[in-house]
Amino acid sequence: MARIYLPSQGTEDWRRLLADPVKHWREGYSAMCLAQCWESAGGLPSEIARLLISIGPSPELLVALPEHKVPLPGSRLGDSQNDLFALIRAGDQTVAVTIEGKVDEPFDQPLGIWLANASDGKRNRLAFICDLLGLTQPLPDNIRYQLLHRTASAVIEARRFKTDLAAMIVHSFSPTRRWFEDYAAFVALFGATAGPDQLVRVHLEGTPRLYVGWASGKILDGSQTVI
């Protein structure tokens, strides 16, 4: 895991961090939309700030790390490469936040497919995530694996940085809120009800307290991109 980070000079710095800087960098797709939005905001995008006001007043971005990798058990499966990791101050609370950008792309594979002929490494990783999030197996086959490991990443980093809270936020740029039903099914695992543009506290014993949210953003014109 990288320990030294350099300040961003614009969206091209986000691009070079992608697993595939050619395939994953296209107009109207999540990687570019997320980079344009956060660079243009000069701090927290307004839709993210509105979610976090429920935690504390005047949310402030302390640091944001694009394509932040969080190690999980099962090294052959690779790290959880989060679209963005941020430390945010809201009132007297500090929050470790993982951001998952979305437009039309799905949340990767549902568990029913991801677990087909699963290796011991996959099963051990899922067991670790469920234990971390207080979930009981077996989980429904339609639950998207990506939402599980992105949320686990938020808890892991909150404990590492000793923040007060952890949060996983889907930053959606889809005008039709595509894939919201998959997010809602994930939130229901915790006995909670999801809503668009809402931050929901989910049950997690011990610290940190865990939240999940869905923020609706807008795709920016190229003229608004910070280069």
What's the confidence (pLDDT) of residue 86? 98
* Maximum Cα–Cα distance across the chain: 49
**What pLDDT is recorded for position 225?**
36
Across the chain, mean pLDDT equals: 93
- Provide the pLDDT confidence category of residue 70 given band limits of 50, 70 and 90: very high
pLDDT of residue 7 exceeding 60, the answer is: yes
Split at pLDDT 50, 70, 90, the class of 181 is very high
**pLDDT range class, residue 227, cuts 50, 70, 90:** very low
What was the pLDDT predicted at 23? Answer: 87
Query: Looking at residue 224, what is its pLDDT?
Result: 39
pLDDT of residue 226: 33
pLDDT band at 198 (very low <50, low <70, confident <90, very high): very high
| Alpha-carbon span 227 to 223, nearest angstrom | 10
- Output the pTM of the full model: 0.94
pLDDT in tens, 96-130: 999 999 999 999 999 999 999 999 999 999 999 99
What is the residue type of 95? V
141 to each of 111, 115, 129, 138, 172, how far by Cα in Å?
5, 9, 16, 9, 23
24, 18 Cβ separation under 8 angstroms: yes
72 band by pLDDT with thresholds 50, 70 and 90: very high
Residue 66 has pLDDT above 50, yes or no: yes
Query: Is there a contact between 153 and 98 (Cβ–Cβ < 8 Å)?
Result: yes
Quick one: how far is CA 183 from the chain centroid? Answer: 12
Q: Extract the tokens encoding 15.
A: 């691009």
* Amino acid identity at 71: P
Give yes or no for residue 73 having a pLDDT over 80: yes
Task: Using the predicted structure, report yes or no on whether residue 61 has a pLDDT greater than 80.
Answer: yes
**E strand residue ranges, the chain:** 60-70, 80-90, 93-102, 165-172, 198-202, 209-216
Q: How many CA atoms lie within 13 A of 142 on its CB side?
A: 10
- pLDDT of residue 138 exceeding 90: yes
